[in-house]
């Protein structure tokens, strides 16, 4: 009996040992695959960022997850990684182990519905991988992964470098902008570099920090758009312009900088791409902001889906030629419209604000590039009876105001008291001296404020110190203005020549204020190009003469008052 038990145990053990390789073979056969081809593309974007895209073609039964790596030094430059094919986006995990191989920065792509035969993995790398020549700023060197790192060998790898348009290849680890390799080994470690020459404005080393896009849906005629950019220059030379991409078929394009100055907007030759010229060249490391406004036709973006139902469809990142660190889109519906439905890619977060008369949708995205499909569909209900809402509101308000004025006008008036002539006030020399001293101090304080503003504009004093000093001077100026006002009343009430002096003084002060306003106006028109240099100089000379004449009148009045004190 004991021998039979031992024999049975040995038999079972032998069967298990023999079956294990068969099971492993069956399991391996289920996930057996080969990588037939990889298309490795390295593209330099307009902002100097690098887009590395690997399109992988597999044969056999693919794995549930796929590993791909870069040499580890590029890991700190990875801004985004996306995996996708023509129909789906796949989840990506960053900085994962690379099958116990060191020296790599790896990512894992998961396939919840099974591995596709063809898919792509794209990396956005920072523009710090491009260095500009110190002596020849038209010469650039790019550090990039020459081949992808994969866990399996590749039968064929076809690679290409897409340099900025108009650039000339100089030298590099690759013999040319197109190269290939047969039988690429697994875990290939291949940092590379390329030097190229370019003089055309097809690349601007810059960080696009934010793009805040606002689209206001009009009641009748399409949409009004506003794109506000914040840009930092990373090149070794000053930047005088920047390319921007607007939504498709944008019209009535105009731009202003952060101070409201008009900027020139011209076409670049590419669809929906325009060049914004800065009012002053942007120095290295400096940041500027500007806003581009435009109009979108309702025919391209709005659909009627019922008597009161409309659908808004937007494609907002097509042809984007740079990487944007942070993007926001705000859609403002017409007054009286009610949001019914909203669809946007799950990659982006969004908020919906429902106001009393108006609904607003805001979408936020950290990092954006043209491979992101920021296509949104928004349906809402709108009744055309809301069109006269504002005019009716104004008419009601004006009617109420008019009735109130008429009621006050028809109210019985109290008998007008007979005005008795007032005796002229006696004025002392102390009052005159106080007025002259206060007026001189006010003029001195005003001049000091103008000088302080000029020094702050030129950057000769710190901004904080300027604000503190300006606040002190404004407080002092307010005190002097009130003091001078009281003394003016005393001088005017004293009658005689003092009353004439105050009248002449007020006329001269009014003239001075008008001249200052007119000078600021012509300076603004000259900066924007609305006023020629010759016309500007002629008007400026006329205003200077008027200001000198007013100053002479004020100086003469103060001099005659000083003579009375002596």
CB 491 within 8 A of CB 499: yes
Give me the residues paired with residue 161 across strands. 42
CB 180 within 8 A of CB 37: no
Between 230 and 450, where is the model more confident? 230
Q: Is the pLDDT of residue 28 over 50?
A: no
Q: Mapping DSSP to helix (H, G, I), strand (E, B) and coil, where does residue 492 land?
A: helix
User: Of 138, 7, 131, 121, nearest to 66 (Cα)?
Assistant: 121
Mean pLDDT of the chain: 82
Report CA-CA distances (Å) from 177 to 37, 123, 159, 160, 168.
19, 19, 8, 6, 10
All CATH 2.60.40.1730 domain ranges in the chain, comma separated: 206-384
CA distance 564 to 546: 28
Q: Alpha-carbon torsion 373, 378, 384, 387, what sign?
A: negative
Q: What is the CA radius of gyration of the chain?
A: 37
Between 120 and 466, where is the model more confident? 120
pTM: 0.62
Buried-exposed string 174-209: b where 16+ CB fall within 10 A, e elsewhere:
beebebebeebeebbbbebebebebeebbbbbbbbe
Architecture in CATH of 206-384:
Sandwich (2.60)
CB 329 within 8 A of CB 316: yes
pLDDT at 22: 41
Confidence of residue 413 (pLDDT cuts 50, 70, 90): low
Between 114 and 1, where is the model more confident? 114
pLDDT digits (tens, 9 = 90+) for 426-442: 667 788 888 888 888 88
């079956």: which residue's tokens?
19
For the chain, helix (H) and strand (E) counts, in that order, are 7, 29
pLDDT at 306: 64
What number of residues does the chain have?
566
pLDDT at 351: 82
User: Of 202, 201, 206, 214, nearest to 288 (Cα)?
Assistant: 206
Confidence of residue 384 (pLDDT cuts 50, 70, 90): low
pLDDT digits (tens, 9 = 90+) for 286-321: 999 999 999 988 777 777 766 577 788 877 777 788
Q: What is 31-197's CATH topology? A: Immunoglobulin-like (2.60.40)
Among the residue ranges 128-132, 353-357, 463-467, 526-530, the one predicted with the least confidence is 353-357
């Amino acid at each position: 009996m004991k021998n039979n038990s031992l024999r049975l145990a040995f038999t079972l053990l032998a069967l298990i040992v023999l079956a294990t390789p068969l099971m492993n073979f069956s399991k391996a056969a289920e996930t057996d695959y080969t990588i037939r081809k990889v298309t490795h593309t390295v593209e330099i974007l307009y902002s100097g960022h690098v887009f590395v895209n690997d399109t992988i073609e597999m044969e056999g039964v693919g794995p549930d997850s796929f590993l791909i790596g870069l040499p580890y030094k590029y890991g700190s430059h990875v801004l985004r990684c996306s995996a996708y094919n023509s129909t789906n986006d796949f989840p990506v995990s960053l900085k994962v182990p690379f099958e116990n191989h060191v020296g790599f920065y790896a990512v894992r792509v998961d396939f919840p519905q099974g591995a596709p035969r063809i898919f792509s993995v794209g990396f956005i790398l920072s523009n710090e991988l491009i260095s500009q020549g110190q002596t020849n700023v038209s010469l650039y060197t790019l550090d990039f992964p020459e081949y992808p790192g994969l866990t399996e060998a590749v039968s064929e790898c076809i690679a290409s470098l897409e340099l900025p348009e108009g650039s000339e290849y100089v030298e590099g680890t690759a013999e040319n902008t197109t190269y290939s390799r047969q039988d690429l080994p697994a875990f290939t470690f291949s940092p590379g570099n390329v030097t190229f020459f370019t003089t055309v404005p097809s690349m601007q080393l810059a960080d696009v920090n934010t793009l805040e896009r606002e689209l206001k849906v009009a009641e009748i005629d399409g949409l009004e758009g506003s794109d506000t950019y914040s840009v930092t220059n990373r090149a070794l030379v000053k930047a005088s312009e920047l390319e921007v991409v607007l939504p498709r078929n944008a019209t009535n394009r105009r731009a202003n900088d952060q101070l409201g100055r008009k900027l020139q907007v011209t076409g670049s030759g590419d669809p929906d791409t325009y060049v914004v010229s800065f009012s002053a060249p942007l120095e290295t490391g400096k940041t500027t902001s500007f806003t581009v406004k435009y109009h979108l036709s309702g025919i391209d973006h709005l659909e009627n889906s019922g008597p009161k139902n409309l659908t808004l469809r937007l494609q907002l990142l097509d042809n984007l030629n740079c990487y944007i660190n942070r993007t926001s889109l705000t859609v403002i519906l017409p007054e009286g419209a009610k949001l019914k439905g909203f669809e946007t890619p799950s990659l982006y977060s969004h908020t919906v604000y429902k106001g009393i008369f108006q609904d607003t949708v805001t979408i936020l995205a950290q990092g954006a590039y043209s491979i992101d499909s920021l296509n949104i569909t928004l349906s809402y209900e709108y009744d055309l009876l809301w069109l006269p809402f504002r005019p009716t509101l104004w008419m009601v308000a004006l009617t109420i105001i008019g009735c109130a004025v008429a009621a006050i006008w028809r109210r019985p008036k109290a008998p007008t008291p007979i005005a008795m002539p007032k005796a002229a006030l006696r004025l002392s020399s102390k009052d005159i001296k106080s007025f002259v001293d206060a007026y001189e101090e006010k003029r001195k304080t005003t001049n000091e404020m103008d000088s302080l503003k000029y020094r702050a504009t030129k950057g000769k004093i710190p901004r904080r110190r300027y604000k503190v000093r300006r606040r002190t001077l404004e407080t002092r100026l307010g005190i002097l203005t009130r003091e001078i006002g009281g003394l003016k009343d005393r001088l005017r009430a004293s009658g005689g020549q003092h009353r004439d002096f105050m009248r002449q003084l007020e006329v001269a002060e009014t003239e001075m204020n008008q001249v200052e306003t007119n000078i600021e106006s012509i300076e603004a028109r000259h900066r924007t190009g609305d006023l020629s240099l010759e016309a500007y100089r002629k008007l400026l000379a006329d205003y200077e003469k008027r200001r000198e004449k007013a100053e002479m009148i004020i100086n003469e009045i103060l001099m005659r008052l000083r003579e009375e004190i002596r």
